[in-house]
Structure 1
Amino acid sequence: MAKDKKKIINDFGGIMYSTDPSFVYNDETAATNESTPNSQQDLRVTLDKKNRGGKAVTLITGFKGGDEKLVELAKMLKTKCGVGGAAKDGEILIQGDFRDKVILILQKEGYKAKKSGG
């Protein structure tokens, strides 16, 4: 189970308290967490070396969907590449330079994946 992100005051659009008993707050983030079909996902695959002690990681960005789907995709990519990694903040990190392999795997799964950056 993924932890729910802690809500801060900015998440509520400035509404702090309502005396209206029929008031219902519409949570816009719940609507954005609906899964987007794989064919409509436009993922970018880059090689990132910044702030990692010189180690290279393959970074996949642009995923639209819930945290559970993100973790599931990350687990599948880590398994097929045979390396470690992480999934957080809407991004997937795969340890090492696996850009070409990740793009092929994502395209087989039906995602639109492109190599970006150097």
Structure 2
Amino acid sequence: MSRKNNRKDRSGVVFSTNPDFDYEYNSEEEAATLPPGQQQLKVMLDKKKRGGKQVTLVEGFVGSNDDLKALGKVLKSKCGVGGTAKDGEILIQGDFRDKVLEVLQANGYKAKKVGG
């Protein structure tokens, strides 16, 4: 099974007749997390594809998934609601734009409200 899993990491070559050929493996490098003062975060209200429910969306985070999840956990606990953090975005359930903006700026992030 481990041999099968390695095939997905190879980039573009299926088979080679060259005996000296070595596969190039895709290595996903995590981006280094920028310090809070250099982050350009956007806080907005979103309700698309959510069955009419409102969520506060924080976009623009540059860094590792662990740091993103840690920031998401702080925001969720300060707002007292649920949410998720993945793909460079943090979703907070409900309309908490002002509270999220206040918490981000208190932690040293450059954040601004986008949209209505």
SS at match of 2:42: strand
Describe the superposition over 1:6-61 as per-residue Cα deviations: whole angstroms up to 9, x where unpaired. xx97x87x55489456x97684x52x521111100000000001111111000000
In structure 1, the partner of 2:51 is: 53
The structure 1 residue matched to 2:107, chosen from 86, 106, 109, is 109
Matches within 5 A, 1:1-118: 16=13, 19=20, 27=27, 29-30=28-29, 33-118=31-116
Pair member with larger Rg: 2
* TM-score normalised by structure 2 residue count: 0.79
For 1:69-89, what per-residue CA distance to the aligned partner results, in whole angstroms no more than 9, with x for missing partners? 000000000000000000111
Q: Can you give the 5+ residue segments of structure 1 that lack an aligned partner in the other structure?
A: 1-7
Runs of 4+ in 1 over 3 A off after TM superposition: 14-21, 23-27
* TM-score, normalised by the number of residues in structure 1: 0.77
- Number of residue-to-residue matches in the alignment: 108
SS at match of 1:76: helix
Rounded Cα–Cα distance in structure 2 between residues aligned with 1:112 and 1:59: 15
Amino acid in structure 2 at the alignment position of 1:46: M
Letter of the 2:64 partner, please give it: G
Q: Percentage identity across aligned positions?
A: 57
Structure 2 gap segments, 5+ residues each:
1-6
Identify the residue that residue 5 of structure 1 maps to in structure 2.
none
